[in-house]
Amino acid sequence: MAASERILGVEGGGTKTAWALVQGEHVVDAGKLPPSNLRLTSPDQLSRILRALPGTADRVGIFLAGCGTEQDRTALARLANEVWPRARITVGSDRDAGLAACLGAGDGIVVNAGTGSSVTGRRRERIEKAGGWGHILGDTGGAYFVSIRALRLILRDYDLRRGNRRFAANVLAALALNNFDELVRWAQTADKTDIAALAPIVFAAAADGEKPVARIIRAGARALADFAAAVSARLEMDAPQVRLMGGLFEHQRAYAESFASALQEKRPRARVELATRAPELGAVWLAANGEMVAPSLHLSIKRSMPTEEANARSENLEQLSPREFVELFVAEEQSVERALRERIAQLAGAVELAAAAMRNSGRLFYVGAGTSGRLGALDAAEIPPTFGVDAASVQAIIAGGMAALQRSVEGAEDDTAGGALSIDARGVTTRDLVIGISASGSAPFVRAALSRAREIGARTILLTCNPELSDTPAVDLVIDLPTGPEIVTGSTRLKAGTATKVALNIISTGAMVQLGYVRGNLMIDVQPANRKLRERAVRLVAQLGRCDEKTAQIRLERSGWNVRRALKE
């Protein structure tokens, strides 16, 4: 195998698709994409995922969950050949990639505990498996397993004792829920990834002395140890090498220790270690037929940006009194107004583009990562009820998906392929407007989404707080708000976040005004979904219809509480 060959390794399952592009001894690019279980993902979606991966590679190894039969492998290879017609293709199951990452060509047992779980063992040519049956019937010992049992514990404890454990309060707080009824409704629509994401709270509760929660965790570790011991026995391995992989083992070292302790009781000579290579690198290894050195990741250090620079005026924050801190904070916020005033022309241009898109039956998309993505999601959520437009007309795309609204999703901002794929997944067309939001202007997820939208023919805007951006992407309009260094270095949720929120308010509200959703300064399409809004609707109709409030309410009741229709009576 030539050192110049580019090898793409892909490992996909029910939670995500991870990939790495390797050349020589180095990972030159890597990322994560949506789930790609061969049996559960539609062929069209799977094709979109594969086409979002790097298009130039000499060898491609694709190993997906659900790829268990020769027929599966033939279908996957055929699809891969359509995407990479000149590459040498290797396909198989995600278990194959896990074995390769952990054991290379050697013998041993791999225990995977992430969202789900599985145990796979190999001795020479023989393979034995346990677990991996999915979250409904199996996945014992994975993050879903411990989280769903912990949720059941909360409700059982409440039913039996009207208990009010701190653990229950922490779960409600993490999900921004107010009571157990809301928790039940959330669980009915949550997918397995949403539920599994509660695992850190479960483990924290166990560490905090919640004994029933600790018993759930020990049960999961012991079940995985039972599977590993059974696989070891079937393979007649008295002293197996056991490698642990998956987010639960990686981030919860106590879980790895609990598993090792349980396995020692059944296989005292087992050697348990954490895996040191990711499964996508196992996919690379298989695509290279084992002819490769373990790659290393090289990162380039970028020049500091204005949003990351230190603010000389706030160098002594810890020495300030509360009043002095507030005075400094308020003074710094003056730069937000200055930044917006300096970009009035660009903001007006954005209002025109948004109004034009929606007038032409197009949609408005906000794309962001982290704070920027959450600000976009906030504005997108508020426009439909405020102005009575369809919820699909203003949409938010956030790196890392819905989970990123409540917590940081590691690596999501850097997911270039995911940014492009998100545009395809939403069906963006030439009628739509895509606004990329990035305080630094350099978030790969956002830039890739803008690039893909422009390829499709949609209009595009970049909203940033970095006027010194040197490699500005090709977009229809750039709004670069010069907010300057933050009072807390790099915390762009502060001045940059405030300026971004105001800019989005201007763009969306301005577009709605242009489209006739406001009369004077009144929201004539407000959705009266609660008492306060119904009272507002009555006052609106009374004022604009020049009638008393009793008549206004009668007209609203006849029109189904539609203000616009009530005004036509």
d(CA 241, CA 271): 5
Asked whether residue 499 falls in the same domain as residue 537, the answer is no
Span 17-76, pLDDT tens digits: 999 999 887 888 888 888 888 888 888 889 989 998 988 999 999 999 889 899 999 999
Are residues 331 and 196 part of one domain? no
Average pLDDT over residues 453-472: 91
Q: Which residues contact 56 (CB under 8 A, 6 or more apart)?
A: 6
The pLDDT value recorded for residue 310 is 76
State residue 301's pLDDT score: 37
Q: What is the pLDDT of residue 136?
A: 80
| Structural domain containing residue 101 | 6-105+279-297
**Statement to judge: residues 60 and 174 lie in one domain:** no
Cβ contact 56:85 at 8 Å = no
Enumerate the β-bridge partners of residue 62: 10, 91
195 and 120, same domain (yes or no)? yes
Task: Quote the tokens at residue 148.
Answer: 């769903």
Residue 484: inside a domain, yes or no? yes
Q: What is the mean pLDDT of residues 138-163?
A: 88
> Is residue 308 included in any domain, yes or no?
no
Q: Tell me, yes or no, whether 261 and 349 share the same domain.
A: no
| Same structural domain, 266 and 345 | no
Contact 345, 375 (CB under 8 A): no
CA distances in angstroms from 568 to 76, 213, 541, 557, 561, listed in the order given: 59, 60, 10, 13, 13
Q: Answer yes or no: is pLDDT of 416 > 50.
A: yes
Q: Is residue 74 part of a domain?
A: yes
Whole-angstrom distance, CA of residue 237 vs CA of residue 229: 9
Q: Is residue 314 part of a domain?
A: no
What's the pLDDT score for residue 315?
A: 78
What local confidence, expressed as pLDDT, does residue 350 receive? 96
- Do 257 and 210 share a structural domain? yes
The answer on 561 and 467 residing in a single domain is: no
Q: Where residue 76 sits, what CATH number does that domain have? A: 3.30.420.40
pLDDT at position 296: 44
Band of residue 302 on the pLDDT scale cut at 50, 70, 90:
very low
Q: Which residues of 73-85 are buried (b: 16+ CB within 10 A; e: fewer)?
A: bebbbebbeebbe
**Distance in angstroms (rounded) separating the CA atoms of residues 177 and 202:** 17
What band does 454 get if pLDDT is binned at 50, 70 and 90? very high
State the total domains in the chain.
4
pLDDT tens column, 246-296: 889 988 988 999 999 999 999 999 999 998 888 999 999 999 987 655 454
| Residues acting as catalytic residues | 382, 413
Cα separation of 362 and 341, whole Å?
A: 29
Going by pLDDT thresholds of 50, 70 and 90, the confidence category of residue 390 is: confident
Asked whether residue 91 is assigned to any structural domain, the reply reads yes
What pLDDT band is residue 509 in, cutting at 50, 70 and 90?
very high
- The predicted structure's pLDDT at residue 191: 82
* In a domain? residue 387: yes
pLDDT value at position 143?
Answer: 92
241: left (phi over 0), alpha (psi -120 to 50) or beta: beta
- Look at residue 304 and tell me whether its pLDDT is greater than 60: no
- Same domain, yes or no, for 292 and 258? no
117 shares a domain with 64: no
How far apart CA 143 and CA 198 sit, in angstroms, is 8
Q: What is the pLDDT of residue 297?
A: 42
Same domain (yes/no): 465, 357: yes
**Please, which pLDDT band fits residue 305 given cuts at 50, 70 and 90?**
low
Q: What is the mean pLDDT of residues 536-559?
A: 89
Q: Which of 205, 240, 274 is the last residue of a domain?
A: 274
Question: Is residue 48 included in any domain, yes or no?
Answer: yes
- Rg (Cα) of the chain, in Å, rounded? 27
Question: Which of 173-177, 352-356, 385-389 has the highest average model confidence (pLDDT)?
Answer: 352-356
Residues 283 and 259 in one domain: no
319 domain-assigned: no
Residue pair 385/539 in contact by the 8 Å Cβ criterion: no
CATH for 399: 3.40.50.10490
pLDDT band at 546 (very low <50, low <70, confident <90, very high): confident
pLDDT at 3: 67
- Assign 410 a pLDDT band (cuts: 50, 70, 90): low
